[in-house]
Amino acid sequence: MALQSKMTVYAAIAGVLTLMGGIIYYASLDNVDLDQVEIELTNVEFREVSTINNQAKFDVTFLVKNPSDKTFTVSVIEYNLYADGTLLGSGIYSTADIALPGRALFSAGAEIPLKNIFVINKSDVESEIYDAMINNRIASFSAEGSITTQSSWSEAQKEFKTGY
């Protein structure tokens, strides 16, 4: 009787491990679709300057596109922002603290602009670049970083480089 109960326990453990492996495999099927996400920097717009804090705020807008058939959300966009080839600093757009059902859904073919506030400290960049930024005299902007997308079963991270 002891041998039969041990075999039952071993069979149950093997069944649970097989089930977990199946779930992981099923979840990984979404990764191909999540990696198809497209991201484009579309606008960097001056918002306000604070002479007290020596900071300037900008609205950075990314257009995120879903060319796949899988619906997903964007949880994080981490990026470095450049103005005329000069690094301004790093920024992050995050909805990680918002539950999955509360985020913007990117269904098949969806294109949604995502805005983020980017803060530049005057002491962190050259004074010529800072003055050009607050006076809208920058010819080109670019960003590089990574975007994290999530479906109900999976999560994928993709590197990007974009500019205008």
Q: What is the pLDDT of residue 147?
A: 97
- Assign a CATH topology to domain 33-163: Immunoglobulin-like (2.60.40)
pLDDT tens, the chain, 164 aa long: 566 788 888 888 999 998 988 877 776 666 788 889 999 999 999 999 998 888 999 999 999 999 999 999 999 999 999 999 999 999 999 998 888 778 889 999 999 999 999 999 999 899 899 999 889 899 999 999 999 999 888 889 999 999 99
d(CA 46, CA 20) in angstroms, rounded, equals 50
d(CA 127, CA 105) in angstroms, rounded, equals 40
DSSP strand pairing (73-83 vs 141-150): antiparallel
3 state SS of 8: helix
Q: What is the pLDDT of residue 27?
A: 65
